[in-house]
């Protein structure tokens, strides 16, 4: 099979990768905490950004010397935060630099595209609608679809399976160290886009960019071939 006849897959994280959602998540967390009588600063959010909801809630309450909520209450707080996020992001939504151009280019070249995110499915579906990307994405895998989240590889392996591809035919696009690790555990190369609001250590990625304009399709194709070899 020639290189052009080979089918490749790209699996994208959502928050901070396709969707510039930093400010919407910050506002949602601050509003959620305000309802609980807790002052939550932008600096605290910056420190927590990229962590799972349960980890953030636990750290906030421990930092205040308050008992950590039980699992049911913690889920209620997390659900409230995500509901507020969806109401905020509708009016504060933008793509990461070059997102639409990259996805259209890959789609035109016959790539299969997926989203692999720890976010709730409602968030992912809303984001794809707001960005106008739904027709380009073949499948989405969310945290509810797998038992183990990143840095375990389950999300990306499930996405490849749903695309009908082997892991060796896929690459991952991420913005967080845990996602990069999950990609490598899945046997896939990782492209990392840097968050403009927080400098994370993305040095483990196979390629780092500040904009998806820096990701021409032939280069991504080469990343997969080199990773496989």
Q: Catalytic residue at 13? A: yes
**Distance separating alpha carbons of residues 106 and 147, to the nearest angstrom:** 30
The answer to whether the beta carbons of residues 107 and 84 sit under 8 Å apart is no
Sheet holding 112-116, edge to edge: 139-141, 112-116, 9-12, 170-174, 190-193, 207-209
Number of H helices, E strands in the chain: 9, 6
**Distance separating alpha carbons of residues 191 and 205, to the nearest angstrom:** 6
Q: Which of 3, 13, 154, 175 is catalytic?
A: 13
The answer to whether the beta carbons of residues 155 and 146 sit under 8 Å apart is yes
Say which residues have a Cβ less than 8 Å from residue 119's Cβ, sequence separation at least 6: 14, 15, 142, 143
Which residue numbers are catalytic?
13
């Amino acid at each position: 099979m020639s290189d052009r006849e080979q089918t490749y897959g790209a699996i994208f994280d959502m928050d901070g990768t396709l969707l510039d959602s930093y400010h919407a998540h910050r506002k949602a967390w601050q509003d959620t905490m305000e309802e609980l009588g807790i002052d939550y600063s932008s600096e605290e959010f910056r420190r927590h950004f990229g962590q799972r909801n349960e980890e953030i809630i636990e750290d906030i309450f421990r930092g205040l010397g308050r008992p950590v909520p039980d699992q049911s209450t913690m889920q209620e707080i997390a659900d409230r935060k995500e509901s507020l996020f969806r109401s905020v992001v509708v009016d504060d939504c933008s793509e990461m630099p070059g997102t639409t151009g990259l996805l259209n280019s890959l789609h035109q070249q016959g790539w299969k595209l997926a989203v692999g995110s720890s976010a709730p499915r409602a968030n992912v579906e809303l984001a794809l609608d707001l960005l106008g990307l739904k027709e380009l994405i073949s499948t989405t895998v969310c945290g509810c679809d797998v038992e183990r989240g990143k840095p375990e590889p389950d999300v990306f392996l499930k996405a490849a399976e749903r695309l009908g591809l082997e892991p060796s035919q896929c690459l991952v696009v991420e913005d967080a160290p845990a996602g990069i690790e999950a990609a490598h555990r899945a046997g896939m190369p990782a492209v990392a886009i840097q968050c403009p609001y927080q400098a994370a250590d993305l040095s483990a990625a196979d390629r780092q960019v500040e904009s998806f304009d820096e990701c021409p399709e032939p280069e991504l194709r080469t990343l997969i071939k080199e990773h496989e070899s």
